[in-house]
A and B are shown apart, each in its own frame.
Chain A
Amino acid sequence: MSKQGLVVNDFCITFSTVNGSGSATANTTLMRALFKMGIPVSSKNIFPSNIQGLPTWYTLRLSKDGYMGRVEQDDIIVAMNPATLHKEVQYLAPGGVFLLPDDFNFENPREDLIIYRMPVKKLVKDAEVPPSLRDYISNMVYVGVLCFLLGIDLDLIHQALDFQFKGRQKPIDQNYQVVEAAYLWSKQNLVKKDPYAAEKMHGTDDCIMTDGNTAGALGSIFGGVQFTGWYPITPATSLAESLIEYLPKYRVDPETGKDTYAVVQSEDELAAIGMAIGAGWGGLRSMTSTSGPGLSLMSEYIGLAYYAEVPVVIWDVQRVGPSTGMPTRTAQGDLTQANFISHGDKNMIILIPGSIQECFEFGWRAFDIAERLQTPVIVLSDLDFGMNMWTSKKFEYPDQPMDRGKVLWEGDMEEFLAKHGGEWGRYRDVDGDGIPWRTLPGNTHPKSGYFARGTSHNEDTGYTEDPEKWEIIFNRIANKFETGKQYLPKAIADESQKAALGIIASGSADPAVQEARDLLIKQGIKTDYLRIRSLPFDTEVEDFLKKHEQLVVLDINRDGQLNQLLTMTYPAYAAKTTSLAHLDGLPLNAKWVETQILSLKEVK
C-alpha cells in the first residue's frame, strides 16, 4: 500500500463484543495508546442494560481534526460476537475492514470488504493464564492484531496496561503477553491490505482522557462539596462513585486526619434529595446525582428547596425516557422536566455543560451559584458525556474564589444588627437584589435561629396566609432570579461566519454541530452558532435570535425541548425558528445535522 493511499488518523473502529466479556480493558487500552500517540480520540460505548450476555459495541474514533462526535459508519469492525456478525457487516463503510476469530462461521456477503481472521483460540490457549481468565484475555488478541495493522507501538500498550492495573505486575504481564503474541503472529501471517494507519501527531498536548462523570465529580471536589446523598442509577452512578474514589485523596484535612466531606448512599432518591437539602440548609456545599427516574422522584423536595431558599446542586445525567426507557442510551429529554420541576410557579436554574472540561467547571461553579442565590441548581449532563471516554482539554483550576453567598455567623450577625436597626429577618430583602441573608444551624447568636418551612411564610419565617405577605416573598424570589442571571454562565456565540442562518444547541449536541458546520461551510453554507449553557436565558440569547434571519434549534429529544423553551420565552422569534429534534438513543452525529440543514427550504 503506497503512503499516498493511506488513511491516517481519521477513521473509526468498532468492537463488537458480548456484555460482561471484559472487553472494556482491551478497548480502553487501545484508546490510551492512541491518545499517547497524540491522536485525538473519543469513544462511544453502546451497551445493553444488562450485566452479561447481550451484544455491546464500543467505537473508537480517531480524528486528526479533533472531531469528537459519533459517526454513522465504521471503517473497521472487530467482531467478537458470533451472534451479530451479519448485522455488523452492514455498518461497514465501503472497502471497510472486518476482523473476526478464525473459528467463526461467516460467509462474507460483501465483496468490497477486507477480512482478517485471527487465531484467537490458539493464541489464548498458548498463553499461560488460568482457564477462568481465558475469555477475558481473548480480547487482547485483537489489540495485538490492530497494533500490527495500524502501526501502534507495543510499548504504548504496555504503558496503558500499567496505568490500567495501577502497576500490578501479574495482570499487566498476563495481558501484555497475549498482545505481544498476537502482534508477532500478525507480523508473520498477515498481509496488510487496508489503508488505515495510526501515526504520531501532537493533537493531545495539554489534553487528558476522561469521562464527564469523573469530570463532574472532580469539579465538585474542587468546588468544595461537603455532602452528597445519592442513589445508584445508570448513567449517573459513576459520578457518585468517582466522588467516593477521589474525595479521600483530596479532601482529608492533613491537620486533623478528618474528612471534610460525607457521602451517604440513601434508600431512594426521595431521601437522596432530602439529605442533600438538609445539608444545604445546614450550610454545607451539598449535592446529589441522578438520572431521569430519580429526578422525577425528587420533584417535591426540589420545590421545597426553591421556596424555603435552600442551596443544593442536582446532577441529572440524562438517559432516554419516558419511564425506565433506555437506561443505557443518551438523550437530552429532561430539559423541560428540569425547567418546570415541582408544582406551583417557580424558577429553576439549569446548567448545561457542553464539554468534558465544562463538566468539571460546572462542577464547582454550580455550588457558587446555588449558595449565592440560595436555590437549587440542576446540572444537565447526559450519558454521552457522563459515561464515554473523551479526549478533553485539561481541567482548569477555578478562576474565582468560592462564593459562599450571604451567610451570617455570630460576629456577622452582631454587625448586621448594628447596621440594620437591630433587626434581621431570614427572608427580608435588605440589599434590593432579592437575595436575603441566611444563618446556619449551630449559630449560637440568640437572634440567629429561624423556622424554615415550605408552607407560606412572611419575611421573618412566620406562618401566614395573608395574601400581601405571600406576594412579597413570592415576588422577591422572582426578582432574585432576574438579578441572579449575572452569576450564570452565558451562552457562547460564534458569529465569525456572519451568517443569516443561526444554529442553537446545547450540551452534548455540540461536537456534532461543530463538525456539521465545517461540513456545511465546505459547501458554501455559512452558519452562526449559539451554544446555550444555562437557563433562565439571558440577553445574549435574545440578541442572537433577533440578529439571525433563520434559526435552527437542535435537540436530542423527540419534542424539541430547547426550542419549546426558547419559543415560550421569546415568542416573537418563533416564526423564523425550525426545530431539529432527533432521538434514537445514540449521540447526535454531524452527518444527520448536515443533511437536515441542507434539506431546509430556504438554505442555499
Chain B
Amino acid sequence: MTTPLPNPAIQTVNKAGLSKGDYKGLPSTLCQGCGHNGVAAQIVAACYEMNLVPEKVVKFSGIGCSSKSPTYFLGRSFSFNGLHGRMPSLALGGMFADHTLKAIGVSGDGDTASIGLGQFKHMVRRNLPMVYIVENNGVYGLTKGQFSATAERGLQLKKQGTNPYLPVDIAMEALISNATFVARSFAGDPRQVKELLKAAIAHNGIAVLDIISPCVTFHNHENSFHSYSFGKEHEEPLHEISYVPPKEDITVEDFEEGTTREVVMHDGSQVVLKKLEKEYDPRDRWQALHMLEDAHSHDWLVTGLIYVDPEVPSMFDIYNIPETPLNRTPNEKLRPSREALDEVNRLMF
C-alpha cells in the first residue's frame, strides 16, 4: 500500500486525490486569535493546492507556541518537535534519511533569533532545502511575555518594562547568510501568506519566511510592529504575488504588461510578481538589503518576496547521495565484505 486512497465521501479533491481534510491536524490549543493559527491554516491550504501527499512531507519545529503548531496541520505527516532553538540540525539529519520529502519547519522569533540564531544561520548557509517559517511576534509567548530578540527598542511589556535593545531582523540575517529565498509576510494577510508558502514549497533550497504573527495575549499593542493593527496599517507589499504551478499557462490578465516580473523556480513553476510602485528586483541581494534598511527607517512593514535565487545547488545537490532515500538502503550495501576487511587489516601498519 503506497498511495492513500481518496475519501469518496468528500467531493472536492485535489490532483493527489485528497480533500482538504487530509491536510488538517488536531484542533489548535493556542489562544484564540493567535497569529500562529492563521499561518497553520494557510499551510493546510498551500499544501492542498500544491497537491502534496502528507506522507511525503516531514515537519520539524523547535519549542514555543509557534513550534507547537505542526500539531495543527498535516496530521498524517511525520513530525519531530525538537529542542528550543535547535530544530535546524534535527531537520538536517532527518532529511538526510529521506531527501525526497518536503520539509516544513516552524519556529518562533525566540526560537530562531535568540537561542537558535547560530543553527538558523548555518542551516541557511548550507541551503538546506526546507520551508523555514518563523512566526514572529516579538515576544516569548510560551513563557508568558518576555522580550524576544526581534522586539523593537522602546517596546513596553507588562512585566518587562521597556526594551532597551535594537531588534534582530530575521530577513536581513537570512540575506547576509546567503539565503536563497527570503520572504516576509503578515499573518493577517492570508492570501499573501499562502502564495508565498507555495513559492517556498517550490523552491529547491532554504526558504525563509518571516511571518509577523501577533501574540494576542502578551503583545498586541496598537503601535507595535508585531500587532494586528500596526500590521494592517503599515503593511507595504512589495508586489502582489501569485504562484503558478509548472506547465500551466500563465494567465496574465491581472498582470499588465510591463508591471509584472516572473521568477522561474527550479521545478519549472513560476512566481509572478505584480509591481506596486517600486522598481524592485527580488534577485538583487544588495537591493533587498537596501530596501529592508529603508523600511526600517520609515517604520514600514514591507511584505512579499524579498529575495530569491532558484539556481543555487541545495545541500543535497552537493552530496553524492543516491536518488532513493538513504533510509531505504538495504543492509548488504552498508556492510563492506570480508575481503574489504582483509584489505583494511593489511593497511593497518
Contact = CB atoms under 8 A, between A and B. Distances in A.
B96 interface: yes
Contacts of A300: 83
Most buried by B among A267, A276, A304, A414: A267
A449 B79 contact: yes
Nearest to A394: B345
Given A253-B333, A267-B122, A275-B92, A397 B338 contact: yes
Contacts of A257: 320
A259 B320 contact: yes
Given A274-B90, A442-B101, A253 B322 contact: yes
Contacts of B100: 442
A445 B94 CA distance: 18
Interface string A380-416: 0000000000001011011001101000001001100
A279 interface: yes
Interface string A28-44: 00001001100000000
A583 to B, nearest CB: 30
Interface in B318-333: 319-323, 325-329, 331, 333
B335 interface: yes
Nearest to B335: A224
Contacts of B55: 442-446, 448-449
A141 interface: no
Interface string B81-104: 111001011111111111011000
Contacts of A301: 83, 86
Interface residues of B, number: 60
A534 interface: no
Nearest to B53: A444
A155 B153 CA distance: 75
A256 interface: yes
Nearest to A209: B349
Contacts of A251: 334, 336
Contacts, number: 226
B15 interface: no
A259 B321 contact: yes
Given A270-B89, A277-B93, A440-B97, A402 B334 contact: yes
Given A259-B320, A262-B321, A274 B82 contact: yes
Contacts of A163: 349
Nearest to B80: A452
Contact of A453 (B80, B88, B331): B80
A258 B81 contact: no
B56 A451 contact: no
A264 interface: yes
A261 B1 CA distance: 28
Given A250-B340, A274-B89, A277-B93, A260 B333 contact: yes
Contacts of B329: 226, 260
A284 B326 contact: yes
Given A222-B341, A395-B341, A227 B3 contact: no
A278 B90 contact: yes
Interface string A261-299: 110101110111111111111111110000000000000
A452 to B, nearest CB: 4
Contact of B90 (A258, A277, A283): A277
A374 interface: no
Nearest to A268: B118
B145 to A, nearest CB: 21
A451 B70 CA distance: 9
Contact of B82 (A209, A229, A454): A454
B96 A260 contact: no
Contacts of B323: 258
A451 B81 contact: yes
A398 B340 CA distance: 12
Interface string B112-140: 00000011001000000000000000000
Nearest to B339: A397
B2 interface: yes
A416 to B, nearest CB: 12
A218 B93 contact: no
B58 interface: yes
Contacts of B98: 282, 440-442
B320 A276 contact: no
Contacts of A443: 55, 78
Nearest to A274: B89
A221 B336 contact: yes
B71 interface: yes
Interface in A443-469: 443-446, 448-455, 462-463
Given A284-B327, A451-B79, A444 B2 contact: yes
Contact of B93 (A224, A280, A394): A280
Contacts of B349: 32, 35-36, 163, 208-209
B119 A271 contact: yes
A332 interface: no
Interface string B12-53: 000000000000001000000000000000000000000001
B344 interface: yes
A227 B96 contact: yes
Contacts of B81: 451-455
B246 interface: no
A585 interface: no
B29 to A, nearest CB: 8
B80 A401 contact: no
A264 B327 contact: no
B317 to A, nearest CB: 13
A192 to B, nearest CB: 29
Given A267-B118, A277-B90, A394-B345, 9 more contacts: A208-B348, A214-B348, A223-B335, A280-B93, A286-B93, A304-B83, A364-B335, A398-B335, A444-B4
9 contacts: A224-B335, A250-B340, A267-B119, A282-B94, A286-B93, A444-B56, A449-B76, A452-B79, A462-B26
Interface of A: 32, 35-36, 163, 208-210, 214, 218, 221-224, 226-227, 229, 246, 250-251, 253, 256-262, 264, 266-268, 270-286, 300-301, 304, 308, 364, 392, 394-395, 397-398, 401-402, 404, 410, 413-414, 439-446, 448-455, 462-463
Interface of B: 1-4, 26, 53-56, 58, 70-71, 75-83, 86, 88-98, 100-101, 118-119, 122, 319-323, 325-329, 331, 333-336, 338, 340-341, 344-345, 348-349
